[in-house]
Amino acid sequence: MREVKTIGADDARRGIAAVRAAAERRDAAVVVAIADAYGELLALLRMDGAGPGDIAPAIAKAYTAARLGQNTRDIESASRNPKTGFDLAGFADPRITGLIGGVKLEFEGEVVGAVGVSGASAGTEEALAEAGVAAMLEPYKTVVEEAP
């Protein structure tokens, strides 16, 4: 039998807090979604000033990054390639998106979750999502580094 590693609620809270702090430093109001290894929603924060229209894209970005095991920037880039590009509808899953701002969370070679951010520029969303991923991985770095 195979065991699936996935993040939990405490990890998600750390990710939300890190994205919120980073967004506040940038004077950005965003929606943050944290998904588990299956792409299912664990936590969501709509910051004051963030629009309700940013909720669904943030969730879709986290879902996509976790489910496909790729950052959504890579999916967006591949889908737009003039020679090898593809239609995202080919995944037969309406929750899959190519919008930039979804970042996978990898631990010991496995995707264990993802962060999706919406409500700012694509580059800012991606940077904020990366801050969330880093915060969620932080407690586990010492465990790996200290292992004999």
Q: Residue 19: which domain range?
A: 9-134
Structure token digits, residue 76 = 């967006």
Residue reference for tokens 């801050």: 131
Query: What is the pTM for the complete model shown?
Result: 0.90
Q: Is residue 125 part of a domain?
A: yes
Q: Is residue 32 part of a domain?
A: yes
Q: Is residue 118 part of a domain?
A: yes
Tally of structural domains, the chain: 1
Q: Is residue 146 part of a domain?
A: no
**Torsion angle in degrees (nearest 10) through CA of 112, 57, 124, 81:** 90
- Judged on CB neighbours under 10 Å (0-12, 13-18, 19+), 59 is buried
Q: Is residue 148 part of a domain?
A: no
Locate all alpha helices (DSSP H) within 3-148, ordered by sequence: 9-25, 55-68, 72-80, 122-146
Per-residue pLDDT at 120: 98
CATH of the domain at 94: 3.30.450.150
Q: Is residue 119 part of a domain?
A: yes
Query: Cβ of 132: how many Cβ atoms within 10 Å?
Result: 33
Per-residue pLDDT at 72: 94
Structure token digits, residue 98 = 């190519």
Q: Is residue 79 part of a domain?
A: yes
What residues have CB less than 8 Å from 131, skipping those under 6 apart? Answer: 18, 19, 21, 22
Per-residue pLDDT at 147: 56
By C-alpha distance, which of 81, 73, 7 is closest to 38?
Answer: 7
Q: Is residue 69 part of a domain?
A: yes
Per-residue pLDDT at 143: 55
Quote the CA–CA distance of 26 and 129 in Å, as a whole number: 13
**pLDDT mean values, one per 10 residues, the chain (148 residues):** 92 98 98 98 98 97 96 85 72 88 96 98 97 95 61
- What is the amino acid identity at position 11? D
